[in-house]
Structure 1
Amino acid sequence: MTVPADRQYTTDHEWVLVEGDIATVGITDFAQDALGDVVFVELPAVGATLAAGEQVGEVESTKSVGELFAPIDGEVVEINDAVVEQPELVNSDPYGAGWLVKVRFAALPEGLLDPAAYEATLS
């Protein structure tokens, strides 16, 4: 499983890449592998206000439906229309073209995991 060093992670298998006051969010390689072939992605609307821990969407696969939880408080400033049109991007490139939402935030929550801590949750 790939765990890029430039991100933070949640125990719900989501990643957060911080650039200034914008966080790009997606699901991890572990999560997409566990889900199997992703066939549908539901994302929050641009402008939606997220609260860390609340359900904000779904990723549906041929095996199951996975809930997406907001890893941070903030406002959705962009969604990845490409994954809505081509959900398989979540499988083929979870840390790149398969990103899900971009969120403007004021502060990162405590409890995000560094790559080593996230990897430790997988064993």
Structure 2
Amino acid sequence: MSELPTELRYASSHEWARLDDDGLITVGITDHAQEALGDLVFVETPSLDADVEAGDACAVVESVKAASDIYAPVSGVVVDANGRLTDEPELVNTDPYGDGWIMRIKAEDPDLIEELMSAEDYEHMLAEEEDD
């Protein structure tokens, strides 16, 4: 079973989001998503100051198997992108919830993070996907 930190919130498109003490929301892809993609070879992070709407594609990860869009879990402005991923895309594979984060968003309404799934809800969604 994939690692699933309970303090994070999750989108059905397999991104995780964490409301940090500074009021910004850090975003990455879940352990489940990086396992499904395989070894990442390229990460295109979003542009700084880009306006993003919840559910919009705003970044791309590419593996030896496929390319996949990364979607903003909340609406706001991208204020930081993980520059380390340019030279070390494998950080998403080795530490998806830590050094492998993708972007930080100044959300229009940080409280909307609560509308994302809990770890338990995300786990149930994954189980249902496996049953299909």
Deviations 1:24-81 (A, max 9, x none): 0000000000000000001111111111111101100000111111111011111000
When normalised by structure 1's length, the TM-score is: 0.96
Large movers: runs of 4+ above 4 Å:
none
- Aligned partner of 1:14 in structure 2 is 15
Q: 1 or 2, which has the higher helix percentage?
A: 2
Is the 8 Å Cα contact of residues 61 and 68 (structure 2) preserved in structure 1?
A: yes
Q: How many residues align?
A: 123
Match of 1:40 in 2: 42
- Quote the Cα distance in structure 1 between the aligned partners of 2:99 and 2:120: 24
Q: Secondary structure at the match of 1:6?
A: coil
Taking only aligned residues, the RMSD between alpha carbons, in angstroms, comes to 1.1
Q: What residue is the counterpart of 1:55 in the other structure?
A: 57
The 5 A counterparts of 1:112-123 are 112-123=116-127
Length-normalised TM-score, structure 2: 0.89
Q: Give the unaligned 5+ runs of structure 1.
A: none
- % identical aligned pairs: 42
Unmatched 5+ residue regions in structure 2? 128-132
From 16, 24, 27, the equivalent of 1:25 is 27
Conserved 8 A contact 2:9-2:114: no
